[in-house]
Structure 1
Amino acid sequence: MSESRPPLPPFTAETSAQKARMAEDAWNSRDPARVALAYTADSRWRNRAEFLQGRDAIQAFLTRKWSRELDYRLIKEVWAFHGNRIAVRFAYEWRDDSGSWFRSYGNENWEFDDHGLMRLRIASINDLPIAEAERKYHWPLGRRPDDHPTLSELGL
């Protein structure tokens, strides 16, 4: 029996926004095993200049990522969608182990299989050092509250 991760393609404005929020929530959990389940077993990634394939590689990557990027908080927003593809923009805030804060901005292109699992993720990301006073994400670690401003509302 095949795994399924609704909503399924073809995506609408509503279901693409739901898919983006589900991804945001999973990533904000900072649980590599949970996040990896949203991808096909042979999913391919380009993350910055790193190329990955498969859930095990994705889970290992995320484990490394969240051991370096502390106090990670993320917001995603749909940019465009068509058929089985969704493009999102995102920004996340994090600090390193020396206490320096960053806001990372990026775009992702996602392609899903018929079961709603992501089979391709292409991410371009830039990091901006920020002062702690410039942070915009102050919710407790975990899921972003529903009443928290979106990227557009924050002017990001």
Structure 2
Amino acid sequence: MSRPPLPPFTKETAIQKIRAAEDGWNSRDPVKVALAYTVDTRWRNRDVFVNGRDEVEAFLSGKWEKERGYRLIKELWTHDGNRIAVRYAYEWHNAKGQWFRSYGNENWEFDDDGLMANRYACINDLEITEDERKFHWPQGRRPDDHPGLSELGL
């Protein structure tokens, strides 16, 4: 299975890959999202280590049960060959209605077929009020005309 764009990445294809990943995660469909990763993918997400697509699906299912109203924006930090580094922010609320903005950086490594083999994520959560939210599009894909992280001052 091939998942274009393929490495080595140019700035343009890295941005395309990042947007595809953002769109997938904003779908909140763990089965669909897991298909973007190699069968034996390895992750570090905060203090959790995930190995393989089955664990990716389980991890994402649990994540999106906890992180309600999830909306994500990713932005290119840098790229080289088969690697891309992104910074991102996402907003969500817990079961009690408390809103958070989670900030982070991810380092990605892809195989020759464009599937992500390694993902290393560092994330920090900040409690915010509903008035401080900046991500107001309807659940799902971020509209093309919605500002990105830099435009939002994040």
Is this a same-fold pair by TM over 0.5? Answer: yes
The TM-score bracket by the shorter chain reads: over 0.9
For residue 125 of structure 2, give the secondary structure of its aligned residue in structure 1: strand
**C-alpha displacement of 1:119:** 0.1
Q: Could you report, residue by residue, the CA deviation over 1:80-138 in whole angstroms, capped at 9, with x for unpaired residues? A: 00000000000000000000000000000000000000000000000000000000000
Matched, 1:40 2:38: yes
Match of residue 130, structure 2, among 125, 129, 132: 132
- Which residue matches 1:49? 47
Structure 1 unpaired stretches of 5+: none
Match of residue 86, structure 2, among 88, 91, 99: 88
- Which residue matches 2:121? 123
Q: Tell me the distance in 1 between the aligned counterparts of 2:83 and 2:136.
A: 31
Letter in 2 for 1:122: Y
Aligned residues with identical type, % of pairs: 71
- Which residue matches 2:24? 26
Q: Tell me the distance in 1 between the aligned counterparts of 2:149 and 2:50.
A: 28
**C-alpha displacement of 1:143:** 0.2
Alignment of structure 1 residues 39-118 onto 2, 5 Å: 39-118=37-116
Q: Tell me the distance in 1 between the aligned counterparts of 2:37 and 2:116.
A: 5
**C-alpha displacement of 1:77:** 0.2
TM-score when normalising by structure 2:
1.00
- Which residue matches 1:141? 139
For residue 22 of structure 1, give the secondary structure of its aligned residue in structure 2: helix
Q: Could you report, residue by residue, the CA deviation over 1:55-76 in whole angstroms, capped at 9, with x for unpaired residues? A: 0000000000000000000000
For residue 28 of structure 1, give the secondary structure of its aligned residue in structure 2: helix
Structure 2 unpaired stretches of 5+: none
Aligned residues: 154
Letter in 1 for 2:138: P
